[in-house]
A and B are shown apart, each in its own frame.
Chain A
Amino acid sequence: METTLTNPVASRKFISDGVLGMIFLLTTEAMLFAGFISAYIVNHAGATMWPPADQPRLPIGITAINTIILLASGFLLFFFSKNFKSNQANGKNGLGILMLSMLLGLTFVSIQGIEWVRLIGYGLTTSSSLYASFFYLIIGFHGLHVLVGLAILAYLFNKVKNSKSTEDAKNTINACKLYWYFVVGIWPLLYYLVYLS
């Protein structure tokens, strides 16, 4: 029934539904992080000592390496989507690259998780100081987005693997990759604000 009623102007779509929806979603997400960041900056600026003397310091070095891992994951996704069509023409789907990108993302959250456990052991808890509260709030929310992003990439993996039409797969890739770019792209800013400033 629905197929006979398809819209006569489907060709007008400059941007596919999925990509457009994702853009609107990410605008909202960006504003969410803007809320966290502005709250953080206001409190940071008003504090007499940041970080407080009695609080453990954040692991800057290992997180720098972790930053590179996440950026590499984003780059691999870019590479995967760029070469998807030519790979498909060669009879391959390039899914190995996507898999690698996901593995790097997984490595990133795992390292973050291990660091959290260590920090809690050192006495940095949600209620130990405002400094610690903001750390867990902002980095935690980003971590949550990484997990959601990995779920989206897993969905994408499955979709590309089983998809019959290249066009369909291409649209899904274009929508899903935006989410991961957002997660990867906002991280250096958060790293700078929370760890370095």
Chain B
Amino acid sequence: MENTHKISFVNKYLFSTDHKTIGAQYTIMGVLMAAVGGFLAYIFRYNLAFPGQNIPLFGALGPQQYNSFVTIHGMIMVFWVGMPVLLAGFGNFLIPMMIGTDDMAFPTLNMMSFWIFFLSAVILLASFFVPGGAFGGGWTMYPPLSANGYMVRDPNFLSALLSGSSLLILAVALEFVAMLMGGINFLVTTFNKRTKGMTAFRVPLVVWYINIAAVIFMFSVGPLVAGAFMLLFDVVLGTGFYDPARGGDPILFQHLFWFFGHPEVYVLLLPSLGVLAEVIPVFSRKPLFAYKKLVYLALLSAVLSVVVWAHHQFIAGIDPRMATFFSIGTIIISIPFAGIFLSFMATLWGGSIRFKLPMLWALGFIALFLIGGLTGLFLGSNAFDIYAHDTYFVVTHFHYTLFPDIFFGFFAAFYFWFPKFSGRTLNNTLGHLHFWLTFVFFNCTWFVLFFNGLAGQHRRIHDYSAFSNFSGGIYQTFEKFSTIGAICLILTQFIFLINVIMSMSKKKNAVKNPWEATTLEWVADSPPPHGNFPVMPEVFRGPYDYSVPGEAKDFLPQNQQ
């Protein structure tokens, strides 16, 4: 008896092929990795504010460790938090529910996708414990540091294979395989498994955006994998692809990396924007403004995203004419995103807005992303970028884009769909506390660092004591202010944790459709059983029929005739 029970536990929670379980696995794994990434950030931020001092819960931080921690922090937040939570997590939870089907097209592939992802995370974390420590040459892995610099000390095959840089490359490659399997599943499911009546332009925008993100990912990842393998062979097989002394070219890696690296930004951004496109109409009680055009804008941005990459290389010695081309491309690509945000504004305009928790996160996202997006325009023009390159200005810019994207996007989705997928409700007061403190402390952490960046402070130096213009005075005060903000930001997340634990320990009390929304997932039970719907719902209308004139209710579910 007991034995059979155990097997069913393994099948139900570990090797489940149910899309909701896999979505939860990805999300939980992403949150755990975010804790690791946040802890690393705490350590190096502490060192920047109080250089040379003993760091509580850690100890002294050496320069090499500082480099490793900064590198792996970036890697974790992009590839082990952003990707699993926004792409794999949202995709798995939402796509089958919103298009009205029982599961993914390839459930077994889906399960394998998660376990390959899990393996990649284990390899990444294991790289902290190999001789020489985790890779510390920056998250972009530029050669020569990654190929034959001081990171790889002992160039025999086995020790080279077990070095921080090759383990990192290996982990990233496996993570890509996992996301590729997920992406194929999302696309095939969306193409082939939509329920009756769910035509292309009745599909909720978030499903569109996750699929477009998957396409961008699949189109751009190949060259990076090619570049990464060449890098791996430089490390372990002694090839010289990136070694100028042997005829190779280190800039080549930068091209291959950023051909993927820039589109990756949109892979992370589009799923979150999709979440906003679901949340904002529900809490404005208005149809999403220009729904179809938002699909076209995202497709346009997908096309443009692969012709802007060299804006990361303005100081790498590329041809100035090429730099101008990429500058113009970069500034043009802000147009579709400006369009998307304007549509959100227009949706809010004149709506009867309900300031519920998901809506607060969505509005916070817009407010912060505005700052991130506008500073991006500065950096896109090569004249300014040559000055600001590799300063805190850049770091602050991308934290103002990626933090709202990954965390505000995630929390907007979490507070919105948690009642649906867990069947339980969250505490509202704790939720408000969580939102407001996160919003305030994020700005405390980052806004001041714009000034450090404009003063020319470089991002990759672990101790500024030797630089008198930064080691005392206002810029060091800013560093301290930022660190205290970061510590408070991290502590604030415990409020969230407590809220979730409290809610999970209570009875299931969520209703089917707490927000009075129209899309199909709200038709299912909370939580949805295996197979999602007792009978597949038939769809008769688009996803955003709010406040339709002449109707008794102010929302019409998609399955209502």
Contact = CB atoms under 8 A, between A and B. Distances in A.
Contacts of B259: 35
Contacts of B239: 126-127, 130, 133, 136-137
Chain A, interface size: which category? 35 or more
A127 B223 contact: no
Nearest to A38: B223
Interface string A122-138: 00001101100110110
Given A32-B222, A32-B223, A39-B256, A127 B530 contact: no
A28 B538 contact: no
B400 to A, nearest CB: 31
B222 A30 contact: yes
A130 B194 contact: no
A137 B230 contact: yes
A152 to B, nearest CB: 14
B233 A7 contact: no
Contacts of A32: 222-223, 225-226
Given A7-B193, A39-B252, A137-B239, A17 B188 contact: yes
Given A27-B218, A28-B222, A126 B536 contact: no
B159 interface: no
Given A43-B252, A133-B241, A21 B105 contact: yes
Nearest to A13: B192
B196 A8 contact: yes
Contacts of B221: 28, 31
Contact of B246 (A39, A42, A130, A134): A130
Interface string B220-258: 111111110110010001111100001111001000100
B101 A133 contact: no
Interface in A4-34: 5, 7-9, 12-13, 15-17, 20-21, 24-25, 27-34
B387 interface: no
A24 B102 contact: no
Contacts of B185: 21
A17 B108 CA distance: 14
Contact of A133 (B105, B180, B227, B233): B233
Contacts of B419: none
Nearest to A36: B226
A27 to B, nearest CB: 6
Interface in A21-78: 21, 24-25, 27-36, 38-39, 42-43, 46-47
A13 B187 CA distance: 13
Residue among B219, B238, B247 with the highest chain A CB neighbour number at 10 A:
B247
Contact of B224 (A1, A35, A137): A35
B222 A7 contact: no
B184 A21 contact: yes
B195 interface: yes
Contacts of A38: 223
B533 interface: yes
Contact of A5 (B196, B240, B531, B538): B531
B238 A127 contact: yes
B129 interface: no
Interface residues of B, number: 47
Given A5-B102, A28-B218, A20 B226 contact: no
B183 interface: yes
A7 B538 CA distance: 10
A2 interface: yes
B202 to A, nearest CB: 13
A13 B189 CA distance: 11
B219 A31 contact: yes
Nearest to A30: B222
A60 to B, nearest CB: 23
A25 B246 CA distance: 34
A111 B246 CA distance: 30
B102 A2 contact: yes
B225 A35 contact: yes
A5 B531 CA distance: 7
A126 B233 contact: yes
Nearest to A133: B239
A33 to B, nearest CB: 7
A174 to B, nearest CB: 14
A127 B194 contact: no
A50 B6 CA distance: 63
Contacts of A47: 247
A24 B222 contact: no
B230 A39 contact: yes
B481 interface: no
A152 B220 CA distance: 25
A133 B249 contact: no
B106 interface: yes
B187 A20 contact: yes
A80 to B, nearest CB: 25
20 contacts: A2-B531, A5-B536, A7-B195, A7-B536, A9-B194, A12-B192, A16-B192, A17-B188, A21-B187, A27-B218, A28-B222, A31-B221, A39-B241, A39-B256, A42-B249, A127-B238, A127-B240, A129-B247, A137-B233, A141-B229
Q: Across chains A and B, which 9 residue pairs bring their CB atoms closest together, nearest first? A: A31-B222, A35-B226, A35-B223, A127-B238, A32-B222, A133-B239, A130-B247, A126-B237, A28-B218
Interface of B: 101-103, 105-106, 180, 183-185, 187-188, 191-196, 218-227, 229-230, 233, 237-241, 246-249, 252, 256, 259, 530-531, 533, 536, 538
Interface of A: 1-2, 5, 7-9, 12-13, 15-17, 20-21, 24-25, 27-36, 38-39, 42-43, 46-47, 126-127, 129-130, 133-134, 136-137, 141
